[in-house]
Amino acid sequence: MTVSREVELAGHIIDSGTMGACFGIVMDMGGTFEVEAFDIGRHETDESYARLVVSADTEEQLQQIVHELHQNGANPADPSDATLEQAPEDRVVPHGFYSTTNHPTEVRYDGEWLPVDRIEMDCAVVVEPAGDAESDGTDGADGDGTDDETDADSDPTDADEDRPRAYTKVLNAIEAGDLVVTGEAGIRVHPPERPRDGGGAFGFMQGGVSAERPSETTIGNVADAIRETKADDGTVLAVPGPAVVHSGAREDLARLVREGYVDAISTGNGFAVHDIERDLYGTSLGMDTESLDHPRKGHKHHIYAISEVIRAGGIEAAVESGVVESGVMYECIEHDRPFVLAGSIRDDGPLPDTITDAIEAQNAIREQAHDADLVLMLSTLLHSVAVGNCLPSTTPTVCVDIDPATVTQLLDRGSAQAVGMVTDIGTFLPMLADKLLASP
Amino acid sequence: MTVSREVELAGHIIDSGTMGACFGIVMDMGGTFEVEAFDIGRHETDESYARLVVSADTEEQLQQIVHELHQNGANPADPSDATLEQAPEDRVVPHGFYSTTNHPTEVRYDGEWLPVDRIEMDCAVVVEPAGDAESDGTDGADGDGTDDETDADSDPTDADEDRPRAYTKVLNAIEAGDLVVTGEAGIRVHPPERPRDGGGAFGFMQGGVSAERPSETTIGNVADAIRETKADDGTVLAVPGPAVVHSGAREDLARLVREGYVDAISTGNGFAVHDIERDLYGTSLGMDTESLDHPRKGHKHHIYAISEVIRAGGIEAAVESGVVESGVMYECIEHDRPFVLAGSIRDDGPLPDTITDAIEAQNAIREQAHDADLVLMLSTLLHSVAVGNCLPSTTPTVCVDIDPATVTQLLDRGSAQAVGMVTDIGTFLPMLADKLLASP
Amino acid sequence: MTVSREVELAGHIIDSGTMGACFGIVMDMGGTFEVEAFDIGRHETDESYARLVVSADTEEQLQQIVHELHQNGANPADPSDATLEQAPEDRVVPHGFYSTTNHPTEVRYDGEWLPVDRIEMDCAVVVEPAGDAESDGTDGADGDGTDDETDADSDPTDADEDRPRAYTKVLNAIEAGDLVVTGEAGIRVHPPERPRDGGGAFGFMQGGVSAERPSETTIGNVADAIRETKADDGTVLAVPGPAVVHSGAREDLARLVREGYVDAISTGNGFAVHDIERDLYGTSLGMDTESLDHPRKGHKHHIYAISEVIRAGGIEAAVESGVVESGVMYECIEHDRPFVLAGSIRDDGPLPDTITDAIEAQNAIREQAHDADLVLMLSTLLHSVAVGNCLPSTTPTVCVDIDPATVTQLLDRGSAQAVGMVTDIGTFLPMLADKLLASP
Amino acid sequence: MTVSREVELAGHIIDSGTMGACFGIVMDMGGTFEVEAFDIGRHETDESYARLVVSADTEEQLQQIVHELHQNGANPADPSDATLEQAPEDRVVPHGFYSTTNHPTEVRYDGEWLPVDRIEMDCAVVVEPAGDAESDGTDGADGDGTDDETDADSDPTDADEDRPRAYTKVLNAIEAGDLVVTGEAGIRVHPPERPRDGGGAFGFMQGGVSAERPSETTIGNVADAIRETKADDGTVLAVPGPAVVHSGAREDLARLVREGYVDAISTGNGFAVHDIERDLYGTSLGMDTESLDHPRKGHKHHIYAISEVIRAGGIEAAVESGVVESGVMYECIEHDRPFVLAGSIRDDGPLPDTITDAIEAQNAIREQAHDADLVLMLSTLLHSVAVGNCLPSTTPTVCVDIDPATVTQLLDRGSAQAVGMVTDIGTFLPMLADKLLASP
């Protein structure tokens, strides 16, 4: 027995590799295909169109192939509405629920294509019919089960409240009764295409990882992307690890926060402790900050810094009472740059500001990720992965790490605009800050 | 002005490097010293003794030097009792509290040296006077503020309850009124010495990290150390990462759990999900497990596996209801091997069994670490660091990772018996299991 | 002014990515194109055909684009003969000579397409007209300026001597008067296409590098590929580094040589010295070979091993006189497996068998590479790159190294059938040998 | 039976770790010892003295222990003259020849301690009796069999010619009749001690490898060390790899050569080709140098650059004829900075200036290494190892690489003054050049 289905592709499907990828998928997964229609864009600015009939031996195999094609941008030729099923209880999704990619996605509801809000990978899609303005429905993917005042999407006075909506929810945010999309029908995914115009200030982000690019030039490109983001009133989110402090680049990041080139910080307890330890024990004991990194004293100062912040009642209190007088966390407090300190099982302390619950921390990170217009991942794998998990594939991202394996892992997420730099954060940040702050 | 203090060293202080290290510390930190007495062990089985007068320009500098010497095994020549101060409020330690190393430590109380129970690094030391059998006092370093039935130290019927005790507490477990050791006086630290007899089955653990050791031979040594630990009724704790599953070695670890060579598992949500995903989608869809690692399908199966366990109500329920039928988690359930799944901000799901609060997870890990007689760190940095943070320097540890930087970082904690292997976990575990299980 | 040229593509140009790549090249390099004809293969076994008109602003730019398209498999639509120019003097090529890829290539001479023999990258192509049977002409790419008896291509009695030939020559082998292909005209390149049938025993080699593949399964695949190569009377070339010895896997490689699964060895002085050092000082001093890797003794034994082989007059003499009694070099001598020891500036000694001149060594490696049907690169970057430089893109290659950067670099050469394994050579070789030798 | 020998140690033997190391060696190798005399330096500026009786079961074992102690600075208590034996033929050393370390060494001849000239590791020591002024004898370790005019040691008018001399020879430079030191007697080795005074501008070089040091500060330290070396009329040798060019730092290194901060270059064919390729194709084709690193064009330009230099007749000719107009090689020619291009089996071309024979290249590198007062190893493992092999342990060395494994391997050679930086050469060199050239 052979079962078949018709799928179609449209856009720059040849030079973006989409068509080749789809052909490969069918063959790799043991199916066959015929090309029914093919209309090639004859100029490089034209779009192309193709319609294939895909066949397989069993319905199950066919579904797997079609699912895979789907994730890569091939959509059923004759769309039906998406199938919706109610979640049977809290945190339990219906069997066969549709698990999202991080690409822009639409679901068909009542004959109409709804964009899926707050897209990120590995979520369920919940559809909220028109007029269904329950608070849980407006809660979106942040999964905290509460109304979030700062979330424009959930504004109860939103003019769209009488229109149906679709948005993502992570598994643990699913509530009994949520209408969850199942199966493959009625869903359109739009993987990013290679920009044809070079991409402007973000064009260099097509390059992937390379240890062999000229370092200074690439840092200049990152500076341009930050400038352009700020010129468009965008939000730059930095995700720094403790190596920023160890490598001596803390003051450079602090300058970027102070001067408004970095709008928000997503990091962990460890970074904040190192940052504050530098402040407390770099000056008060009269040591030369340059040689402070004396390994013998490390653990004592580290744990003392935590103790001082606990005693003060938190980072903000420590800044306001004059205990902490410099650094990245200091500048965040002084200039109202929001930060998230996510807890981890390797933390000492932790600081009172650290969110120790992983789900709560993820929700906080999710808000940061969805607000970000440019993300700088600075020498931390754990926090970069956590942020990256929540990013749509359309958010430009710069990953900097001295370990090529880390950079590769972070870039390997299908982002349309991402660049990895295998370099030393201790030289990267000073050069970046100089390029951004030196110009008048 | 010059201030001075007398310190003494005893033991195999020359060949263990202790004496050289102490001389170096004084010089590096800008102090001077004179050797007042020196009695060298003339045979390699004799101990040596040295008494130094250390001098510095200021009391503060001298204290720093003496603190550092102390951490390295040099103790004040004329000991006084340790200074104790009450914690002013919960989670706030007195100024100048003593922050522990991971080496065996004693504090002097009422003229008597008390061993510090549950030693681990970066903790405060709390002294509980004789007869002071408050429940909070018996709680030790586990920091959960509750009595722990399984903790022999806290047994209220313990004959020692009328004797004074000293034990560690992490910062966040400190309670108002705890008597916390401050300053440097009345504390003795015993850094590990190099064993002179070769160390038996654990002797190969003196070797540090080497990518250039014969791999098969070293795996044989690890097998011997496990066998000897089991022969002494010891507890083997494995700390596996997801790479164990990716690399195809899951069944080998499952065999070790089943056959009793691994007694407990400390890992995260990700490992458990991968392990269960292999079970659920390796067989049920009729795919060859060997080629299952199809990157295209990964995220869907991953999230589906989580969903199935949530639906079942947890791992144990999923095993008992027959949903999960093989693997490491399965064997843990079937053979009553305790496990801890610590949450992280990069988790999908998570599984209901995952401890999402970092402090709660650390406390669970701490119990595992203190119970362990041999620790196998298997291709996970995060969980290995978390376990390592709670280990005394006397617990034998094997670190296996393909990334030499990870191995170096894990070994760099002053453990007396630790060995790092830069190898492929996907070949290490099959060879280890064969060596342990092949013999009659 | 705009200049244009017509190019065509044929084959599995869509799913192999060729067409997408070519569209991308034109756009990246600032040109434009129109699709004049496009005939899509409607089934997955059909070939496709496309004809483009590519335009650019200057002839120079156009030539660059066309050159690049060319290297990727797009050929001029209306071919003319290749342009030939005489080399003006030894080692000097004509301006604008054509520099080869490592893909199968043809040049058009007298209206006929000649395959280019001994294809490898970065060479010139020399055409030898019919009847032009000079000895230098028959010398092919081996560049040693002498007739090579073992080279079937150069057999003077070859029936083809009255037909024109084309073959590669490295720059330093060019002789005055050689007819060298220049420009882009009359040249066809055939980049490898993805095999549609899975590739048989070599199919797993499509996988690229992955640290996340099941290790044991992949080793089984390598064993199958070796078995199949031997079943077809093919030649397996191993390229081992010193880590094979350090990691304790020397005897496993020796077994593969002895049993005929490895036909030839391409390595350096260092590997041979380590191999012989193990033999000489592993047994003669009565030490347990397992613990021999005592770092303190290393340099002395190393240099003594060299000295002993020099004294004996070379490796063969040392084997024959009974000085060397085991190991990889021993088995090569005993079983007539040819080996090349290429010298390097970091060598101690070197051994008398080491070819110290880099050009002479490259020529010897080139012969090995052209004879090989399967290449195993075993933990050496230098020698693997040297062999890889001489390989056509059609030779199956397995790269094993514990450093992912090394594996990536070695695979990044456009081989059609190559697989990289990030694993420990000290566990890989024992498992491989067991899989090959255990079966009856 | 027990055999014994008396050895003695003198100097800062405790805080330098020498004494501890020697005790450890005896125990590790299965011997026993007694301390017969021990005179401790009571202040940190005093030297200490110890005399041990070492015992073992067999003479062979004892010799091994004593050999090992020796390499670590313990010398026989009652020295006799060194044993000398004639080399039986060219390139063949007597059995049991003494193989050198890279530490300062003396041999006892006629009751007098002669310093061993041109010390480097893994060599034989040749003694030339007084008045024995044969030309081969004066040739030292450079092994080229010719008189070297620039070598002060070999000046025939040297007043020392009537005094006995000792110097190193590599194995392949040994000539029949050379008086070669054998055994262990009459040899004193002086491993470097930790400087007590902080080491001045070179003091930071005690630090070993650390990815966690402040990067900018460390680069400042390197600049200071270069400045101090130049202030003392010292020679700075740079050992750059191709990554210097790929990462965009070529012009920075060229500036250092031009301004006299780098006196000599030791590198390979690949670096020179990349450097010249940048010059030829960075400007002549009108491309922006910043984006030149276009992977698609790489191999063509690379091979064309080689071809152009061959056509010109070499690098100097290419500079003089105006073919090459910028870059590191250009500045070397223009400012008479000597360079060595050592060949390798992975070279394309090679350039006519490349020394293709490994032994000849080693001899050229040896001269550079012995002349150097400060060595900068810049992102090349092969050439750095080759240079490092020829360096005495007293030459200050800076190793820069982005791969920590490379840095560790390079530092692991017992150099007294060596520092490793895990950083990006593409940011290191611009920062270093700015620090050296910005100051007035």
Are D216 and D319 in a shared domain? yes
d(CA C119, nearest CA chain A) in Å = 27
Residue B147: pLDDT over 50: no
CATH number at residue B159: 2.40.420.10
Q: How confident is the model over D51-68, as pLDDT tens digits?
A: 888 999 998 888 888 888
Which has the minimum average pLDDT: B145-159, B288-302, B354-368?
B145-159
Chains that touch C (3 or more CB pairs under 8 A): A, B, D
Kindly determine whether residue A428 and residue D431, on different chains, have CB atoms separated by under 8 Å.
no
Q: Given this model, what pLDDT does residue A208 score?
A: 57
Residue B368: pLDDT over 60: yes
Q: What's the rounded Cα separation, in Å, for the pair A279 and A257? A: 16
Q: Given this model, what pLDDT does residue D390 score?
A: 95
Within 8 A by CB and 6+ apart from B281, the residues are B287, B292, B297, B301, B304, B305
* Residue located via tokens 């700390």: B239
Residue D289: pLDDT over 80: no
Phi/psi of residue D226, nearest 5 degrees: -65, -45
Q: Place A198 in a pLDDT band, splitting at 50, 70 and 90.
A: low
Kindly determine whether residue C44 and residue A38, on different chains, have CB atoms separated by under 8 Å.
no
Which has the minimum average pLDDT: A139-153, C9-23, C92-106, D177-191?
A139-153
Percent of the residues in chain A that have a pLDDT greater than 90, as a whole number: 53
Q: What's the rounded Cα separation, in Å, for the pair D315 and D273? A: 10
CATH number at residue A73: 3.30.70.2690
Which residue among B217, B243, B427 sits closest to C428, beta carbon to beta carbon?
Answer: B427
Q: Given this model, what pLDDT does residue D273 score?
A: 93
Q: Given this model, what pLDDT does residue B224 score?
A: 94
Q: How confident is the model over C300-315, as pLDDT tens digits?
A: 788 889 999 999 999 9
Are C279 and C185 in a shared domain? no
Are D335 and D405 in a shared domain? yes
Domain of residue D60: give its range: 1-78
Q: Place D333 in a pLDDT band, splitting at 50, 70 and 90.
A: very high
Question: Which residues on neighbouring strands pair with residue B342, listed in sequence order?
Answer: B268, B355
Residue A42: pLDDT over 80: no
Q: Place D325 in a pLDDT band, splitting at 50, 70 and 90.
A: very high
Residue C252: pLDDT over 90: yes
Residue B285: pLDDT over 50: no
Residue type, A261: Y
Question: Which residues on neighbouring strands pair with residue D10, listed in sequence order?
Answer: D49
Residue B251: pLDDT over 50: yes
Which residue among A212, A248, A423 sits closest to D427, beta carbon to beta carbon?
Answer: A423
For residues A232-253, give the mean pLDDT. Answer: 94
Judge residue B80's burial from the number of C-beta atoms within 10 Å of its C-beta, 0-12 exposed, 13-18 middle, 19 or more buried: exposed
Residues of A in contact with D293 (CB under 8 A): 212-214
For residues D98-125, give the mean pLDDT. Answer: 94
Residue C134: pLDDT over 70: no
Which residue among B25, B345, B356 sits closest to A386, beta carbon to beta carbon?
Answer: B345
For the question of an ipTM over 0.90, the answer is no
Kindly determine whether residue C64 and residue D304, on different chains, have CB atoms separated by under 8 Å.
no
Q: Place A246 in a pLDDT band, splitting at 50, 70 and 90.
A: confident
Kindly determine whether residue A357 and residue B358, on different chains, have CB atoms separated by under 8 Å.
yes
Q: What's the rounded Cα separation, in Å, for the pair A55 and A5? A: 7
Six-digit token pair at C317?
């003499």
Q: Place A356 in a pLDDT band, splitting at 50, 70 and 90.
A: very high
Residue D159: pLDDT over 60: no
Q: Given this model, what pLDDT does residue A354 score?
A: 98
**Does D24 lie at the interface with B, CB-CB under 8 angstroms?**
yes
Residues of D in contact with B194 (CB under 8 A): 24
**Does C93 lie at the interface with D, CB-CB under 8 angstroms?**
yes
d(CA B81, nearest CA chain D) in Å = 30
Residue D436: pLDDT over 90: yes
**Mutation test of the interface with chain A: which of D253, D424, D432, choosing the one with the most A Cβ atoms within 10 A?**
D424
Are C216 and C90 in a shared domain? no
Are A206 and A331 in a shared domain? yes
Q: Which residue of A has its CA nearest to C21?
A: A15
Phi-psi category of residue D255: left, alpha or beta, with phi > 0 → left and psi -120 to 50 → alpha: alpha
Which has the minimum average pLDDT: A80-89, B411-420, D240-249?
B411-420
Residue with the larger pLDDT of the pair C299 and B177 = B177
Give CA torsion, residues D315, D317, D323, D327, to 10 deg. 40
**Does B310 lie at the interface with A, CB-CB under 8 angstroms?**
yes
Q: Given this model, what pLDDT does residue A76 score?
A: 82
**Does C37 lie at the interface with A, CB-CB under 8 angstroms?**
no
Kindly determine whether residue A358 and residue B357, on different chains, have CB atoms separated by under 8 Å.
yes
Six-digit token pair at B204?
């190969």
**Does A35 lie at the interface with C, CB-CB under 8 angstroms?**
yes
For residues B157-182, give the mean pLDDT. Answer: 86
Q: Given this model, what pLDDT does residue C60 score?
A: 85
> Residue A338, SS3?
coil
Kindly determine whether residue B427 and residue C422, on different chains, have CB atoms separated by under 8 Å.
no
**Does B21 lie at the interface with C, CB-CB under 8 angstroms?**
no
Are C184 and C257 in a shared domain? no
Residues of A in contact with C74 (CB under 8 A): none
Within 8 A by CB and 6+ apart from A324, the residues are A276, A279, A280, A309, A315, A318, A330
For residues C123-138, give the mean pLDDT. Answer: 74
Which has the minimum average pLDDT: A320-329, C231-240, D79-88, D154-163?
D154-163
**Does D198 lie at the interface with A, CB-CB under 8 angstroms?**
no
Residue C96: pLDDT over 80: yes
**Mutation test of the interface with chain C: which of A4, A9, A12, A14, choosing the one with the most C Cβ atoms within 10 A?**
A14
Are C135 and C155 in a shared domain? yes
Q: Given this model, what pLDDT does residue A133 score?
A: 54
Q: Given this model, what pLDDT does residue D193 score?
A: 67
Stated pTM of the model? 0.87
d(CA A400, nearest CA chain D) in Å = 11
**Does D196 lie at the interface with B, CB-CB under 8 angstroms?**
yes
**Does C311 lie at the interface with D, CB-CB under 8 angstroms?**
yes
d(CA B328, nearest CA chain A) in Å = 22
Six-digit token pair at B30?
């800008």
Residue A177: pLDDT over 70: yes
For residues B12-21, give the mean pLDDT. Answer: 75
Residues of C in contact with B423 (CB under 8 A): 402, 423-424, 426-427
Residue with the larger pLDDT of the pair B54 and C145 = B54
Q: Given this model, what pLDDT does residue A321 score?
A: 96
Eight-class DSSP state of C348 = S
Q: What's the rounded Cα separation, in Å, for the pair B37 and B270? A: 57
Which residue among D216, D291, D402 sits closest to A430, beta carbon to beta carbon?
Answer: D216
Kindly determine whether residue C122 and residue D303, on different chains, have CB atoms separated by under 8 Å.
yes
Chains that touch A (3 or more CB pairs under 8 A): B, C, D
Q: Place A330 in a pLDDT band, splitting at 50, 70 and 90.
A: very high
Q: What's the rounded Cα separation, in Å, for the pair C187 and C184? A: 6
Kindly determine whether residue B358 and residue A344, on different chains, have CB atoms separated by under 8 Å.
yes
Q: Which residue of B has its CA nearest to C405?
A: B403
Contact A164, A129 (CB under 8 A): yes
Residue B98: pLDDT over 70: yes
Are C240 and C132 in a shared domain? no
Helix spans in A232-340 (H): 243-246, 250-258, 269-283, 295-312, 315-320, 328-334
For the ranges A8-12, C195-199, D190-194, the maximum mean pLDDT occurs at A8-12
Q: Which residue of C has its CA nearest to B421?
A: C424
For residues D378-390, give the mean pLDDT. Answer: 95
Are C29 and C103 in a shared domain? no
Residue B416: pLDDT over 70: no
Q: Given this model, what pLDDT does residue C194 score?
A: 60
Which residue among A217, A248, A291 sits closest to D216, beta carbon to beta carbon?
Answer: A248
Q: What's the rounded Cα separation, in Å, for the pair D310 and D305? A: 9
**Does C274 lie at the interface with B, CB-CB under 8 angstroms?**
no
Percent of the residues in chain C that have a pLDDT greater than 90, as a whole number: 53
Kindly determine whether residue D214 and residue A243, on different chains, have CB atoms separated by under 8 Å.
no
Kindly determine whether residue D32 and residue B43, on different chains, have CB atoms separated by under 8 Å.
yes
The mean predicted confidence, pLDDT, of chain C is 84
Q: Given this model, what pLDDT does residue B198 score?
A: 54
**Does D247 lie at the interface with A, CB-CB under 8 angstroms?**
yes
Q: Place D39 in a pLDDT band, splitting at 50, 70 and 90.
A: confident
Distance of CA C133 to CAs C112, C147, C157, D243, D298, Å? 19, 12, 10, 44, 35
Residue C169: pLDDT over 90: yes
Q: What's the rounded Cα separation, in Å, for the pair C36 and C174? A: 41
Exposure string over C342-380, b if 16+ CB within 10 A, otherwise e: bbbbbbbbbbbbbbbbbbbbbbbbbbbbbebbbbbbbbb
Residue B126: pLDDT over 50: yes
For residues D256-268, give the mean pLDDT. Answer: 98
d(CA B34, nearest CA chain D) in Å = 5
Which has the minimum average pLDDT: A37-41, C70-74, C146-150, D327-331?
C146-150
Q: How confident is the model over C30-45, as pLDDT tens digits?
A: 888 887 777 766 566 6
Percent of the residues in chain D that have a pLDDT greater than 90, as a whole number: 53
Q: What's the rounded Cα separation, in Å, for the pair A312 and A319? A: 9
Residues of B in contact with C243 (CB under 8 A): 211-212
The mean predicted confidence, pLDDT, of chain B is 84
Are B251 and B361 in a shared domain? yes
Distance of CA B209 to CAs A336, B67, B213, B418, D408, Å? 46, 29, 9, 9, 12
Size of interface A-B (CB pairs under 8 A): 124
Are C213 and C320 in a shared domain? yes
Q: How confident is the model over B330-366, as pLDDT tens digits?
A: 999 999 999 999 999 999 999 999 999 999 999 999 9
**Does C426 lie at the interface with B, CB-CB under 8 angstroms?**
yes
Among B78, B109, B139, where does a domain finish?
Answer: B78
Q: Place D44 in a pLDDT band, splitting at 50, 70 and 90.
A: low
Q: Which residue of B has its CA nearest to A24?
A: B296
Residues of chain A by 3-state class (helix, strand, coil), percent to 5: 40, 20, 40
Q: Given this model, what pLDDT does residue A295 score?
A: 40
d(CA C427, nearest CA chain B) in Å = 6
Given the DSSP bridges, would you call strands B397-401 and B374-378 parallel, antiparallel or unpaired? parallel
Q: What's the rounded Cα separation, in Å, for the pair A418 and A399? A: 8
Size of interface A-C (CB pairs under 8 A): 57
Which residue among D38, D41, D42 sits closest to B40, beta carbon to beta carbon?
Answer: D38
d(CA D251, nearest CA chain C) in Å = 26
Q: Given this model, what pLDDT does residue B128 score?
A: 95
Q: Place B75 in a pLDDT band, splitting at 50, 70 and 90.
A: confident
Kindly determine whether residue C215 and residue B243, on different chains, have CB atoms separated by under 8 Å.
no
Asked, for residue A293, whether it belongs to a domain, the answer is: no
Among D32, D57, D78, where does a domain finish?
Answer: D78
Residue A148: pLDDT over 70: no
Among C35, C56, C78, where does a domain finish?
Answer: C78
Residue D157: pLDDT over 60: no
Which has the minimum average pLDDT: A386-400, B97-111, C104-118, C413-427?
C413-427
Which has the minimum average pLDDT: A116-125, A285-294, C372-381, D313-322?
A285-294
Residues of D in contact with B35 (CB under 8 A): 40-42
Residue C155: pLDDT over 70: no
For residues A193-200, give the mean pLDDT. Answer: 58
Kindly determine whether residue B33 and residue D44, on different chains, have CB atoms separated by under 8 Å.
yes
Residue C399: pLDDT over 60: yes
Kindly determine whether residue A427 and residue D431, on different chains, have CB atoms separated by under 8 Å.
yes
Q: Place A342 in a pLDDT band, splitting at 50, 70 and 90.
A: very high
Are C159 and C287 in a shared domain? no
Six-digit token pair at B326?
């093989």
Which has the minimum average pLDDT: B171-175, D127-131, D315-319?
D127-131
Say how many domains are in chain A.
3
